[in-house]
């Protein structure tokens, strides 16, 4: 067409001009864009960021996992290669551990056994107690010897403040147990690699029952549970004919088969043959791997509202009690008149109200014995609840319990959120005349039986 206007040569020139023009403009635009990209383009990002995002997207699609509501990561500082550093922040603790021996390879065809079957434990234990009168199983006529068992991993927590909360938790337990004359066993060893995770308590409990015949009751308590009523003493007489005490509701376990009908984060187990038999029936769902997965499916099917995940000890207990009610129920006490386990979500916001209206010693909704931070998982990276809520509430629960200890010595925390303490009563030149309000310094249940020998 241009040919007709300008003539062939001219049109060719014109075309060439146009082409060159196009290329020039394109190059100019490209230069501008590239420069803008390199010198910074604000929130619209640079090609480098693009690349990163593309890469991340692909990685995300590859490792698709349940979206974490919370991620805790320590900013890794650059590792210095010098091994002679005096700076703790630069040290990678995982380089410290050395296993001198290999894992024992288990024969996969062998069925799991938590230990050789013992059938005469009551007789063995009774005989031993007779021969060892210095280690009675009852420290007072109404008070059995109790061993509180808890524990955590021998490796540091993934969360940088996790170990601090474990420390506060064990201090809290030490305080309660000192006042109530209870011994503590803090476990940091994995006795059986197959029963790892929440199942690790089973081989531990069995081992402790068999190694400590003088212990009448073993009290398992999770590391994320804290005592919030220091004055409450467990009503031991109520359980004189029972062997297992858990917090829960009969209807929810036996009728509804609800997976949270009871809680295995805090329970009492008597040292007897019945308990060994129960552990033998409880353990088979635990072994890591296919067994646990398959058992998990069975439990989700059989129990109400249970989500899909591998078998856990709590669901297994619900299932055993519900399906073998005739065998076990008459020796199991599902306690709900006080908070042997208290779900933190409904308790922690009411502490100020409790302080205003009630006093320690109730153990129930008025002043909970135990506040259990289920789902918070402060030692791990991922929890079911937001970080701030969990950690701040754990601080409050700790201080709530600690105030009852400090008041013995005339101190209290400045507030439930504060680490600082203040004096509540003046120093006296007659310290023994001053009575501590809760009577925790020299409580009746700690009185020593004055023996005649």
Of 87-95, 239-247, 353-361, 367-375, the window that binds another protein (rule: CB under 8 A) is 87-95
**x/- site string to another protein, residues 90 to 129, per CB under 8 A?**
xx-x--xxxxxx-xx----------xxxx-----xx--x-
Q: Binding residue for another protein (CB under 8 A) from 1, 5, 66, 84?
A: 84
Using the minimum distance from each CB to another protein, give the nearer residue, 90 or 255.
90
* DSSP 8-state class, residue 363: B
Three-state DSSP class for residue 58: helix
Using the minimum distance from each CB to another protein, give the nearer residue, 5 or 448.
448
**Subset of residues 190 to 229 that bind another protein, contact rule: CB under 8 A:** 190-191, 207-208, 210-213
Q: Binding residue for another protein (CB under 8 A) from 108, 430, 435, 452?
A: 430
**Subset of residues 148 to 177 that bind another protein, contact rule: CB under 8 A:** 152, 154-157, 159-164, 166-168, 170-171, 174-175
Using the minimum distance from each CB to another protein, give the nearer residue, 302 or 436.
436
Q: Is 334 in contact with 317 (CB distance < 8 Å)?
A: no
**Subset of residues 40 to 79 that bind another protein, contact rule: CB under 8 A:** 41, 43-45, 49-50, 53-54, 56-57, 60, 67-75
Q: Binding residue for another protein (CB under 8 A) from 2, 17, 27, 346?
A: 27
The reply to whether 26 sits near another protein by the rule CB under 8 A is yes
C-beta of 60: minimal distance to another protein in Å? 7
Structure tokens at 105: 């390879």
**Subset of residues 431 to 450 that bind another protein, contact rule: CB under 8 A:** 431-432, 436, 441-442, 446-450
The reply to whether 246 sits near another protein by the rule CB under 8 A is no
Tell me the CA distances in angstroms from 54 to 59, 68, 451, one per residue in order.
Answer: 9, 20, 77
User: How many Cβ atoms from other residues are within 10 Å of residue 392's Cβ?
Assistant: 14
How many Å apart are CA 373 and CA 223, to the nearest integer?
Answer: 9
**Subset of residues 331 to 350 that bind another protein, contact rule: CB under 8 A:** none
C-beta of 320: minimal distance to another protein in Å? 23
Q: Is 246 in contact with 256 (CB distance < 8 Å)?
A: no
Using the minimum distance from each CB to another protein, give the nearer residue, 298 or 408.
408
How many Å apart are CA 343 and CA 225, to the nearest integer?
Answer: 9
Using the minimum distance from each CB to another protein, give the nearer residue, 92 or 241.
92
Three-state DSSP class for residue 329: helix
C-beta of 443: minimal distance to another protein in Å? 10
User: How many Cβ atoms from other residues are within 10 Å of residue 154's Cβ?
Assistant: 10
205-231 CB burial, b ≥16 within 10 A, e <16: bbebbeebbbbbbbbbbbbbbbbbbbb
Using the minimum distance from each CB to another protein, give the nearer residue, 184 or 298.
184
Using the minimum distance from each CB to another protein, give the nearer residue, 191 or 329.
191
φ/ψ of 165, rounded to 5, equals: -75, -30
**Subset of residues 383 to 422 that bind another protein, contact rule: CB under 8 A:** 387-388, 391, 395, 402, 406, 408-411, 414-415, 417-421
How many Å apart are CA 298 and CA 91, to the nearest integer?
Answer: 45
C-beta of 317: minimal distance to another protein in Å? 23
Of 18-26, 242-250, 254-262, 304-312, the window that binds another protein (rule: CB under 8 A) is 18-26
353-377 CB burial, b ≥16 within 10 A, e <16: ebeeeeebbbbeebbbbbbbbbebb
User: How many Cβ atoms from other residues are within 10 Å of residue 142's Cβ?
Assistant: 12
Q: Is 72 in contact with 158 (CB distance < 8 Å)?
A: yes
Short-list 240, 258, 400, 391, CA closest to 317: 258
Using the minimum distance from each CB to another protein, give the nearer residue, 101 or 326.
101
């Amino acid at each position: 067409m241009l040919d007709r206007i300008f003539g062939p040569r001219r049109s060719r020139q014109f075309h060439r001009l146009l082409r060159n023009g196009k290329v020039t403009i394109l190059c100019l635009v490209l230069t501008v864009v590239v420069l803008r990209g390199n010198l910074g383009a604000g929130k619209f990002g640079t090609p480098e960021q693009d690349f990163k995002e593309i890469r991340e997207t692909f990685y995300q699609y590859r490792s698709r996992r349940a979206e974490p509501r919370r991620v805790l990561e320590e900013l890794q500082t650059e590792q210095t290669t010098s091994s002679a550093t005096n700076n703790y922040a630069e040290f990678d603790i995982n380089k410290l551990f050395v296993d001198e021996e290999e894992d024992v390879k288990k024969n996969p065809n062998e069925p799991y056994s938590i230990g050789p079957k013992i059938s005469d434990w009551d007789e063995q234990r009774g005989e031993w107690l007779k021969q060892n009168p210095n280690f009675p199983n009852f420290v007072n006529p109404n008070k059995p010897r109790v061993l509180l068992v808890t524990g955590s991993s021998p490796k540091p927590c993934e969360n940088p403040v996790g170990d601090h909360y474990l420390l506060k938790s064990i201090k809290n337990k030490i305080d309660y147990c000192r006042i109530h004359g209870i011994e503590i066993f803090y476990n940091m060893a994995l006795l059986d690699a197959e029963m790892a995770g929440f199942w690790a308590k089973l081989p531990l409990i069995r081992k402790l029952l068999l190694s400590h015949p003088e212990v009448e009751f073993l009290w398992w308590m999770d590391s994320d549970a804290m005592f919030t009523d220091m004055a409450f003493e467990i009503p031991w007489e109520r359980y004189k004919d029972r062997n297992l005490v858990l917090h829960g509701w009969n209807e929810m376990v036996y009728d509804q088969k609800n997976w949270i009908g009871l809680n295995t984060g805090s329970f009492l187990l008597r040292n007897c043959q019945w308990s060994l038999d129960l552990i033998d029936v409880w353990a088979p769902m635990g072994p890591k791997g296919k067994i646990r997965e398959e058992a998990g499916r069975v439990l989700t099917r059989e129990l109400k509202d249970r989500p899909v995940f591998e078998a856990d000890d709590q669901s297994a207990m619900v299932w055993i009690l519900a399906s073998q009610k005739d065998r076990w129920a008459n020796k199991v006490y599902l306690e709900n008149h006080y908070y042997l386990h208290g779900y933190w979500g409904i308790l922690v916001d009411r502490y100020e109200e409790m302080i205003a209206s009630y006093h320690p010693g109730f153990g129930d909704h008025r002043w909970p014995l135990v506040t259990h931070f289920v789902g918070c998982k402060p030692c791990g990276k991922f929890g079911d609840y937001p970080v701030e809520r969990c950690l701040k509430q754990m601080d409050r629960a700790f201080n709530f319990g600690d105030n009852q200890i400090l008041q013995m010595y005339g101190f209290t925390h400045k507030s439930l959120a504060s680490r600082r303490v203040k004096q509540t009563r003046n120093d006296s030149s007659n310290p023994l005349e001053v009575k501590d309000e809760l009577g925790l310094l020299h409580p009746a249940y700690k009185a020593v039986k004055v023996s005649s020998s």
